[in-house]
Every structure is written in C-alpha cells, then in structure tokens.
Amino acid sequence: MFLYLLVSAAYHSSRWLPRTQRLKFQIVNVVFILVVLIPQIYIMARPKSSRYCKQPLLINLCVSVALSFIASGFSLLFTLLDPVPQSLWASFHLFGLLSCGLGLSTSILTLTAAECVKSTPELYHMSAALTVASAVSAGVLLLRGGLWLSNRRPAAQTG
C-alpha cells in the first residue's frame, strides 16, 4: 500500500500547482522516487543479502523494486497528464491491489523471518521498514477512504 499511497500523494499534490508550475514538481517527484528506490537497490545488491534465509525476503524485495519502478511511472504520468484517462486510473487501481498484496506478503514474511536477522540483517531490516510503511499507508488509506465515503453519503431526509 506504500507505493499506492505515494503515487496518490504525488497526484493530489501536483493538482495544487498550476499546469505551468508542474515541471518544477517533477524534480521533487524524481527525488522522492530516488529516495524510495536507492535504499532498496542498495540492500538488494549487498553480498550479505544473498545469504541463506528461510523466508524469501530477497525475492520479495525484488518484487518491491519492480513495483517501485512501476509506481515511478504512474507518478510521472499522473503529474503530467491533465485529465488522466480512465484506463490509466483503472490500471493504477489494479496496481493498488498488487501493492496491497505486496504489503501483506512483506508483513507475513517479515513476521515469520525472525531467524533471518542474524544471517541477512540488512535485508530483514529493510523488510521490517517496508512492513511498517505498508501498515501506516494502509491506515492512512482506510482513513481517507472512510472520509471519502462519508462525504459521498447523501444527507439524511428530515421530516
């Protein structure tokens, strides 16, 4: 859910700016993409990360990196296009389901990989950080969805 929330935040943040100012926002967008991608790629490239771990944390991190690249594409497209086509929105929400699945699998793998903290410490800690980010993002999205639903509910009839 973390990547889905980041793309959604990039979209909504860019809409506060006039169209002529959005190119400046792209620089900020690229910085955020690098902040998300560089630590994951660094941990993945570390020799200690390829050591044996009972849980497939390295494979999970590879999937996270792949989805991070897809998220970066979505964030760039959403901040450049106005209006955003419905087909792109549909594929973005499908990406949200994949991101949710990644968050759930990361959480489950991290919670069951306590012995991996000794063999692959960086990989385990990255997985733990992604688990926390996914949990916080899921909470934020649930809160935002609840607020959205409460605003869409028609007012009660009096009388």
Question: Tell me: the pLDDT tens digits for 80-118?
Answer: 888 889 999 999 999 999 999 999 999 999 999 988 888
Instruction: Say what the pTM is.
Output: 0.85
Q: How far apart are CA 95 and CA 111, in angstroms?
A: 24
H-type alpha helices, the chain: 2-14, 22-45, 57-80, 86-111, 116-119, 121-152
- Distance set, CA 119 to CA 58, 64, 141 (Å): 12, 21, 34
pLDDT in tens, the chain (159 residues): 889 999 998 888 888 888 777 777 888 888 888 999 999 999 988 888 777 888 889 999 999 999 999 999 999 898 888 888 999 999 999 999 999 999 999 999 999 998 888 888 899 999 999 999 999 999 998 898 888 888 877 655 554
What's the one-letter identity of residue 105?
Answer: S
Structure tokens that stand for 51 in this block = 């050591």
Instruction: Give the Cα separation of 30 and 25 in Å (integer).
Output: 9
